[in-house]
Every structure is written in structure tokens, then in C-alpha cells.
Amino acid sequence: SVMARYRRLEADFTTTAVHVVDLARFLLDSDYAQIHFRYLTQEISGQAVTSYLLDGEMTSGAAVRLSIYPAAGINVERVRVYGADQAFELAGSNGLDAPGWLRRYHENRLAEEISGAQLAGSEESFIINGFYAEDEAFFEAVQAGRQPRADLAAARQSVAVMQAMRAREQQYK
């Protein structure tokens, strides 16, 4: 998974980086068993900017590699998932890839390509980005008296990983 931003020069990018950390957990429906971190800091326009490289294993056994570049010269988010006979590529709905797309490969051939607008059923960015569906699910759960699926306990590990990145830890277990 790659998160790249154009000229995001803030000293602490972890509050944005946590989104790709959380996305991996969501897509794989699994927590992190362990992560090894690398940090690359460079000076850009007088500001120290850190990129983050995370190699991890999920409790499901899946391997993940997250590359997070705050000042990459391009604004994109891309995810690749590889299986034995299938693979998926997802381009986020922001930056150059707007409105995003999903490609599914089967047995080394492109089997399907769907635009972000087709997936979301709308051209509206707040719908394509998932904010509307997320809010809708939350309010429906509250109205029905159910605990929302995405609660504070579910977010706890992503925040712990973000804190480990902020503290420049070498490993998370």
C-alpha cells in the first residue's frame, strides 16, 4: 500500500498516516501481529519531513508493506493485494487518481475494472470517499440501539501503531 502526498511538510505526519495503517486492518479484516518500522527523514524547504516504511504481519497470516511519503511530488493512495490466483489494485479517490478505481486480476489477466464512481454509485466526493456511508451506518446503529461496528475499541490498535510511529519505535508487537 502506498500513501503519497504532494508537499505535506508538517513535522508530524502520523495523524494522516494512521489512515493507511487502519485501511490495511479494514481490508484484511485482521489486526497487526507485528510491524517493523523504518524512517527516512530529509530536509525539504527547511523542514524535516519523515517518510515511513512499515513491514508487518497480520494475525491472519497476511503480510503487509505500507509506504507513506508526505512529500513525494504526487498525491495518490494505492493498494495492492496479491493472492495465489487473484490480485487487486485499488486507487484512492483523491489526487491524480480521482475518482479512483478497482482492478481485479484473475490468473494473470485483468478480469474487471470498476471506477470509484461506479463502486460508490455517485460522482460526489463525500460519497466516493466513504464519509456518507460511514456516517449513515453509525446513525442507523444508534437509532436501532446497536453498538456501531466501528467503535473506539476497534480503532485502538491503529492509534497504538500511530503512536509507535510518532515515537519512532523500531517494532510493534
- For the chain, give the percent of residues with pLDDT over 90: 82
For the segment 109-116, the average pLDDT, to the nearest whole number, is: 97
- How does DSSP assign 108-127, residue by residue? TEEEEEEEHHHHHTSS-HHH
Tens digits of per-residue pLDDT, 38-48?
999 999 999 99
**DSSP-derived 3-state class of residue 83:** coil
For position 154, what pLDDT does the model report?
85
For position 131, what pLDDT does the model report?
81
Q: State the Cα angle at 29 between 111 and 16, rounded to 5°.
A: 95
- Phi, psi (deg, nearest 5) at residue 84: -65, -45
For the cut 80, the answer to whether the pLDDT of residue 151 exceeds it is: no
Per-residue cell: 100: 479512483
Look up residue 170 and give its amino acid: Q
For position 134, what pLDDT does the model report?
86
| 21 touches 172 (CB < 8 A) | no
| 93 touches 125 (CB < 8 A) | yes
Tens digits of per-residue pLDDT, 5-26?
999 999 899 999 999 999 999 8
